[in-house]
Amino acid sequence: MTPDERAKRASAEMWSNDRASPWMGISLDAVSEGQANMQLTVQDHHCNGHGICHGGVIFTLADSAFAFACNSRNQATVAQNNMITFVAPAKLGDVLSADARETSLSGRNGVYDVRVHNQDGGLIAEMRGLSRAIKGQLFDETAKGT
């Protein structure tokens, strides 16, 4: 199994159990080893009292992309720490894209950078995610036919 085949299979397993991302309106657009891209169109229910996209929605998009990137090797992995910086507001109707990329992987610890852009390429937010591998896999690679 190639690294990208493993990433696609791992993401399919995760997506089949992910209730939060689809509920929020997030789609998984691409995944490869150590990388993932997810999108969300800002709808009325995503907006806060200022009429802009709620920061928690933007964080959720970035966190979901981070999760799919850090689980792409079929090693169960969770967030250890995340920090986000909001650069510009996202508005109703904006199509946000979160691009997560692994910058470091050492033992059970990983570092991922996630950039969230709007449909015009404008930077909305940057997130740094630290991951920690835990026991288990998303699918059994030793099973026949995998």
* The pair of three-digit structure tokens given for residue 14, joined into one six-digit string: 């995760």
Checking if the pLDDT of 146 tops 80, the result is no
Q: Helix, strand, coil shares of the chain as percentages rounded to 5?
A: 25, 40, 30
Which residues are registered as beta bridge partners of 16? none
Q: Can you give the pLDDT at residue 61?
A: 98
7-51 residue pLDDT tens? 999 999 999 999 999 999 999 999 999 999 999 999 999 999 999
The residue with tokens 């709007």 is 118
| Domain coordinates in residue numbering, the chain | 3-133
Whole-structure pTM value? 0.94
- Which three-class secondary structure state does DSSP give residue 21? helix
CATH classification of 3-133, choosing from 3.30.470.30, 3.30.365.10, 3.10.129.10, 3.90.550.10? 3.10.129.10
Checking if the pLDDT of 58 tops 70, the result is yes
